[in-house]
């Protein structure tokens, strides 16, 4: 396992393949393994793929303080990681919370971002999303894997995916979150996300000039397409696409079309050295 030390926090990362670097940024409860359906396609497509668990996630360090977590701090961590790996510019892809970190990173460190892809992400938090996130926070604070998964499973996956997957989906998720998952850190990450209710990224999106692909999921109950539309309206050089019959976890529910879009967009924007 590979780590880079940033301040007093160890950040776990993976570095696969060779070619132009592609950075994949996790959703809030994800780890690097959650990208396995995209990793294989990108590496076989001739790209170097860099993944990491953000502070508070899975294999990375978990500082025990609320002020240790923010989109800005995650962006700083990513900058330090790329410096350690001698990456000066990359294709940046983030899903959900990872997309929000990606936007912050593109605003703060634009010279590192060749192009940006945002999957089911938001730049502001409306009341219904705040209520959803607070329910997830209650689930995290329960320290109970079953209560935790119950707090979000029906938000994250579409009805059709849950029906196809059967009851084993819930039990598999409970098993995953019963080992190696830190509920206290998950609560810190959720509180970091909720800061966007008071400090939205939307007014800062005009500072993103890189080509940006914005992907929404038709049946996303957490961050429905209206949020992606807001982002698309505020990033001038953007392309907006909705994937039909998919829930929030579109990278898992619809990997074939997702991978086609990701690789097509990255391929159409070869790395610029300027």
Residue-wise pLDDT tens digits, 27-41: 999 999 999 999 999
Q: Give tens-digit pLDDT for 140-156.
A: 999 999 999 999 999 99
The CATH code of the domain that includes 227 is 3.40.50.1820
Query: Is residue 172 situated within a structural domain?
Result: no
Average pLDDT over residues 90-111: 99
**Does residue 272 have a pLDDT over 90?**
no
What local confidence, expressed as pLDDT, does residue 27 receive? 98
What local confidence, expressed as pLDDT, does residue 1 receive? 86
- Residue 237 burial (CB < 10 Å; 0-12/13-18/19+)? exposed
Query: Is residue 137 situated within a structural domain?
Result: no
Distance CA 240, CA 243 (A): 10
Query: Is residue 208 situated within a structural domain?
Result: yes
H or E stretch covering 267: helix 255-267
Locate 207 and state its tokens: 């500072």
Query: Is residue 160 situated within a structural domain?
Result: no
Average pLDDT over residues 184-199: 98
Query: Is residue 153 situated within a structural domain?
Result: no
Write the CB contacts of 212 (distance below 8 Å, at least 6 apart in sequence). 115, 116, 117, 118, 235, 237, 238, 239
Confidence bin at 177 (pLDDT 50/70/90): very high
Phi, psi of 2 (to 5 degrees): -110, 140
Confidence bin at 274 (pLDDT 50/70/90): low
Which domain, by its residues, includes 88? Answer: 2-124+200-267
Question: In total, how many domains does the chain have?
Answer: 1
Query: Is residue 210 situated within a structural domain?
Result: yes
Q: Are strands 113-119 and 212-217 parallel, antiparallel or unpaired?
A: parallel
Q: Give tens-digit pLDDT for 33-82.
A: 999 999 999 999 999 999 999 999 999 999 999 999 999 999 999 999 99
Give the CA angle between residues 189, 193, 197 to the nearest 5°.
Answer: 150
């Amino acid at each position: 396992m590979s780590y880079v030390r940033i301040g007093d926090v160890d950040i776990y990362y993976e570095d696969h393949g060779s070619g132009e670097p592609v950075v994949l940024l996790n959703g809030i409860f994800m780890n690097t393994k959650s990208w396995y359906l995209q990793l294989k396609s990108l590496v076989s497509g001739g790209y170097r793929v860099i993944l990491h668990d953000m502070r508070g996630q899975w294999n990375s360090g978990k500082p025990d303080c609320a002020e240790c977590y923010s989109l800005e701090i995650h962006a700083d961590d990513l900058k330090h990681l790329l410096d350690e790996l001698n990456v000066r510019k990359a294709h940046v892809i983030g899903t959900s919370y990872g997309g929000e970190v990606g936007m912050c990173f593109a605003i703060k460190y634009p010279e590192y971002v060749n192009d940006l892809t945002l999957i089911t992400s938001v730049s502001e938090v409306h009341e219904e999303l705040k209520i959803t996130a607070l329910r997830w926070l209650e689930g995290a604070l329960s320290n109970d894997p079953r209560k935790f998964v119950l707090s979000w499973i029906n938000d994250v996956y579409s009805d059709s995916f849950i029906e196809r997957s059967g009851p084993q989906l819930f039990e598999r998720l409970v098993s995953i979150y019963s080992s190696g998952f830190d509920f206290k850190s998950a609560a810190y990450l959720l509180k970091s996300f909720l800061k966007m209710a008071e400090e939205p990224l939307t007014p800062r999106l005009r500072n993103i000039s890189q080509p940006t692909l914005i992907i929404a999921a038709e049946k996303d109950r957490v961050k429905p397409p209206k949020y992606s539309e807001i982002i698309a309206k505020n990033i001038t050089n953007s392309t907006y696409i909705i994937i039909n019959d998919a829930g929030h976890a579109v990278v898992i529910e619809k990997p074939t079309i997702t991978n086609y879009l990701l690789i097509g967009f990255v391929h159409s924007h070869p790395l610029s050295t300027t």
